Amino acid sequence: MSTYSPRLTQLIDALRRLPGVGPKSAQRMAFHLLDRDRDGAAQLGIAIGAALDGIERCPSCRMFCEDQSCRYCNPQRQASGQICVVESPADLIAIEHNTGYRGRYFVLMGRLSPLDGIGPEELGLPALAALLERGPVEELIVALNPSVEGEATAYYLIEMAHARGIKVTRIAHGVPMGGELEYVDGGTLSHALAGRTPA
């Protein structure tokens, strides 16, 4: 038998779906929202509903966008001839805010992990291949996290680009092994991107 009422149980279970939130944290959040910030809880519910209704993935770069005109796929960015491949939207934002890069992006929403059932299809790699075929793409920048899965994914991307005669570079490894791009300081990330090397 649950310690909580059915609706409270449902709220705590919903909060536990957030990354890094365990049972105690979810309980603390639920109690705070119900006891001290009901207006904030209502605003949170409205914001989540609006986001679910109005935010989709861009069919070209796979970043989240609210309409057909994705800010990361405009003609000026296309004219750069560059596509920077990242694992997540947070990685895209980290590069955008901390470097001078203003080319196009492609967001994988993960990395290759056959044991978890994540293959090329799940990462949208057929869509990336179509982008490379359509052109004009002069350089594919691989900006993946330096993990075992990240390295395997990078190798796949490098082979994909080389097969089409496209130059491939990788961000320099000023980013620590096992690190996540979104948590790296701006200076390190900027130097890593500026010092990318051919793959």
* Sign of the C-alpha dihedral computed for residues 188, 189, 193 and 199 taken in this order: positive
Q: Note whether residue 170 is domain-resident.
A: yes
* Residue 15 shares a structural domain with residue 94: no
* Number of CB atoms found within 10 A of residue 105's CB: 26
Residue 126 · residue 68 · CB < 8 Å: no
* Residue 125 shares a structural domain with residue 49: no
Question: Who's near 128: CB < 8 A, 6+ residues apart?
Answer: 83, 85, 106, 157, 160
Q: What is the pLDDT of residue 68?
A: 72
Q: Note whether residue 50 is domain-resident.
A: yes
* Residue 91 shares a structural domain with residue 132: yes
* Residue 103 shares a structural domain with residue 189: yes
167-184 burial: b if 16+ Cβ within 10 Å, else e: ebbbbeebbeeeebbbeb
165 — pLDDT class (breaks 50, 70, 90): very high
**Who has greater pLDDT, 74 or 190?**
74
Q: What is the pLDDT of residues 20-47, one digit of tens each?
A: 999 999 999 999 999 999 999 999 999 9
Mean pLDDT across 112-130: 92
**β-strand 64-65 against 167-170: which pairing, if any?**
unpaired
What's the pTM?
Answer: 0.79
Q: What is the pLDDT of residues 91-110, one digit of tens each?
A: 999 999 999 999 999 999 99
148 — pLDDT class (breaks 50, 70, 90): confident
Residue found by looking up tokens 């920077």 in the block: 84
* Residue 99 shares a structural domain with residue 190: yes
Q: What is the pLDDT of residues 46-66, one digit of tens each?
A: 999 999 999 999 999 999 998
Q: What SS3 state is found at 84?
A: strand
- Distance of alpha carbon 9 from alpha carbon 15, whole angstroms: 10
Quote the domain boundaries for residue 44: 6-54
**β-strand 167-170 against 139-142: which pairing, if any?**
parallel
Question: How many independent structural domains does the chain possess?
Answer: 2
- For 149, the token pair is 């899965």
* Residue 28 shares a structural domain with residue 107: no
- For 157, the token pair is 């991307």
Q: What is the pLDDT of residues 125-139, one digit of tens each?
A: 999 999 999 878 999
* Residue 124 shares a structural domain with residue 183: yes
* Residue 81 shares a structural domain with residue 123: yes
The rounded mean pLDDT for the chain is 90
- Distance of alpha carbon 187 from alpha carbon 65, whole angstroms: 27
Residue found by looking up tokens 């929202």 in the block: 33
Mean pLDDT across 136-158: 91
174 — pLDDT class (breaks 50, 70, 90): low
Mean pLDDT across 112-123: 90
Radius of gyration of the chain (CA): 20
Q: Note whether residue 61 is domain-resident.
A: no
Q: Which helix (H) or strand (E) holds 43?
A: helix 38-54
